[in-house]
Amino acid sequence: MIKTEILLDSVILIDHFNRIHQASAYLKQVRDIAAISVITRAEVLTGFEPASRIVAAMFLDYFPVFEINKNIADLAATLRYDYKWKLPDALQAAIATYYNLKLATRNIKDFSPNKYDFVSVPYSL
């Protein structure tokens, strides 16, 4: 069994669907150790027309999905209060920290890798 090490933030998958080569190459590199959250799934699928949403969902189905439970919700509330993050960002951070995962993102405005040990920025545009 392969251990999940990386939580993919929505922006990484959105970049992939927007044909950003760096995102696609990164996903190929980490495909066996990466997962997504229910937040990422919802955010990514929101960007698709109903007809193409099915194909996008099939791609997302490849990745294990972390759900939100009471422990994650409580931690997200604390993180949101402490860092003034938007709720989706606080939930992503809570999932990553709770499960000891690296959050792969390009959102350095909210998640500076210099400030947060759980953040990884796999590429920049």
- Where along the chain do its domains lie? 6-120
In this prediction, residue 2 carries a pLDDT of: 61
In the block, tokens 């696609």 appear at 24
Domain boundaries 6-120, CATH class: alpha beta
In this prediction, residue 48 carries a pLDDT of: 97
d(CA 46, CA 119): 24
d(CA 75, CA 101): 15
89: helix, strand or coil:
helix
Q: Could you list the beta-strand ranges (E) of the chain.
A: 6-8, 34-37, 65-66, 102-104, 119-120
Q: Model pTM greater than 0.85? A: yes
Blockwise average pLDDT, block size 10, the chain, 125 residues: 88 98 98 97 97 96 97 98 97 98 96 96 95
